[in-house]
Chains A and B, each alone.
Chain A
Amino acid sequence: MNKTVTFRIWRGDANGGKFVDYTTEITEGLVVLDVVHKIQAQQANDLAVRWNCKAGKCGSCSAEVNGMPKLMCMTRMDTLDITKPITIEPMRAFPSIRDLATDVSWNFRVKTKIKKFNPRKPDCEDGTWRMQQEDVDRVQEFRKCIECFLCQDVCHVLRDHHKHDEFIGPRFLVYTAALEMHPLDTEDRLAELKQSQGIGYCNITKCCTKVCPEHITITDNAIIPLKERVVDEFYDPFAWVWKKLRPKG
C-alpha cells in the first residue's frame, strides 16, 4: 500500500539556502535515495544529488538523514518515522557545492600528505613477501573503508571546530593505522600523527564508529591504538627505556 511522506530537503549552495518540503508517495522496500530520485524526477529536476552504485559500496550518496550522517542508498524508509517530515541535508564538514552535493576534495589532498606504504625488502628472491594471516587480520578491517567520509562529517573537530588544517580526521587515522600496523611496512608516521595530523584533537566521542556504514571499529581499533603508539614514542619514559633494553629481532 502506498504511503505519503514529506522530505524536507536542503536547497542552496555555498552562499546560502533553505529547506524545501516535497511530499510524495512511497511503496514498500524503498531507500531514501530512491525517494530523493523520485522527487528529482517529478518535482525538482534541478536537485543536485551525488550517487553511483546504490549498493553501499561507492560512498557517493553521503548526506545527513534526520540529522545523522548516513548513506542515502543504505537507509531504508521503513527505519524512519514517516509521520513527520524527514530532513535531508548535505554533509556539514565540507563546503557546499549545491543542494546535497558537497566538495570533498579536501580529503584527497590530506591523503597525499600521509607517508606511503614502504615495505621491507622482499622475503624471497622472486620479489615476494611472506606474511601470516593473523598478522594482516587487524589491518584488513581498515581496508573495508569505502571513503564515504561520513566519519569525517560527524567528527566535531572538523564539523564544528573546522580544524581541517590541523587534524586529518577519523578516515585518515584509519588509513594511517592500516599502513602503520601493516606487518610489512617499515615507515614511521608517529611524529606526523602527533604534530601536523593532530591525533591529540580526537577526544574519543566514538561518533565516527557509530556512523560507519562498513561497521569499522574506528575509535577502538584504529584511533586509540595509534594514540597509544604516540604515547610510547613521546610521553612514556618507561617505554623509552624498554625500547632500549628489549631484545632485538
Chain B
Amino acid sequence: MDYADTLPKQRSFGQTTRPDAWWLQPLVVFLGFSAFIIYSTWAAFQGVGDMQTGVPSYWFGGEHGEHGGANYLSPFYSPEFWGVSPHAILGATLPGWFPKWAPFSPAFLILWIPAGFRFTCYYYRGAYYKAFWADPINCAVGEPRKKFLGELSFPLIIQNVHRYFFYLAFLFIILLSYDAWLGMWFTDKAGKGHFGIGVGTIVLILNAVFLAMYTFGCHSLRHLVGGFLDSKSKAPTCAKAYSCVSCLNIRHMMWAWISLFWVGFTDVYVRLCATGHLTDFVFFKL
C-alpha cells in the first residue's frame, strides 16, 4: 500500500475546523496588493499621455521659480531615461528604434525592477501564494487544487533569481535618495537653487528611508553579507553586516507594507501637486 493512501484524505477548499476568521488575513493581503497593482498600473500609463502633451503629471516643480521652484519626481518614474521632465537623462525624443505604434511611458522602463524585487521577495511570495493562489489560503485550511509543484520546477523555480533583483533594487535606493536630495533644492526665477524643506521633500525622504529599510532587510542580502558563513567569528565585518541585516529582516513584513504604501502615496502626492489639486507647503527656504 502506498504511504499516501494511509493518510487522511485531502480536505476540500476552505474546509477546516478552525473557528477563527482565517479568511481575514488573506483577504486583507489580496485587497492591499490588488489596490497597489491597479493604482501603479494606472499611474504608469499616465506617462503615455504626458509624453504626448509634453506636460509631466509625475513631476512637480519649475526650473524658473514656478510652483515655488520645487523639484519632486514620482518614484514610479525614477530614473527617467526618456521623458518630459527635467530629470530625463536622454531627453524627450524617443530613439529611432523604438516602435512608433507602441505606447511609451518613462515608468515602463523601470517599474519591472521594483515589481520583480517584490514579486520574488520571500515575504511577498508567502503572502501572495496564500492570498492570490490559495496555496494554502491559510494554515490548516483546505486547498482548491490537488496538484502542487511548489518552487521546485518551472515556473516558480524562477523565484531563485531574487538576489539579482536585489542588486538592481539597491541601485534604486541610491537613485531615490538622490531624488530626495534634489527635492531639498528650490529654484528661484533666476535659476539659482535654495536649500529648503517642503512637505514633498519629507515625503520623498521618507520614501527613500522606508524603501531602504525594506530592501536592506532582504533575506538574500542577509545570506550574501554573512549568512553563507558557518564561522562568522573569522570574518568580523561579515558578522556585523549579518547582524545589521538580521535586525531589519525580523520586521521584513512590516517594512514591506510600509514601503509599499509609502511609495504609492509619494506618487499620489507628487501627482496631486503636479496636476494642481494640492498646494505643496514649504516649511522654509534659505
Contacts and interface: CB of A to CB of B under 8 A. Distances in A.
Given A160-B136, A206-B126, A207-B140, 6 more contacts: A66-B19, A211-B139, A224-B122, A225-B219, A227-B160, A229-B228
A66 B17 contact: yes
Interface residues of B, number: 49
Given A67-B17, A135-B232, A231 B163 contact: yes
B230 A201 contact: no
B129 to A, nearest CB: 5
Given A157-B148, A201-B148, A229-B228, A87 B3 contact: no
A220 B223 contact: no
A161 interface: yes
A181 interface: yes
A89 B233 contact: no
Contacts of B116: none
B7 interface: yes
B151 interface: yes
Interface residues of A, number: 57
Interface stretch (A20-28, A48-56, A162-170): A162-170
A159 interface: yes
B219 A224 contact: yes
A162 B7 contact: yes
A96 B8 contact: yes
Select the residue from B130, B150, B220, B239 with max chain A CB neighbours within 10 A.
Answer: B150
Given A134-B239, A204-B122, A205-B130, A64 B19 contact: no
A183 B135 CA distance: 36
Interface in A199-226: 200-207, 210-211, 219-220, 224-225
14 contacts: A67-B16, A92-B8, A94-B7, A106-B3, A156-B143, A164-B7, A200-B157, A201-B148, A202-B150, A220-B252, A228-B224, A231-B160, A231-B163, A235-B160
B139 A68 contact: yes
A160 B233 contact: no
B142 A200 contact: no
Interface in B105-162: 122, 125-126, 129-130, 135-136, 139-140, 142-143, 146, 148, 150-153, 156-157, 160-161
A205 B129 contact: yes
Interface string A148-190: 0000001011011111110000000000000001110100000
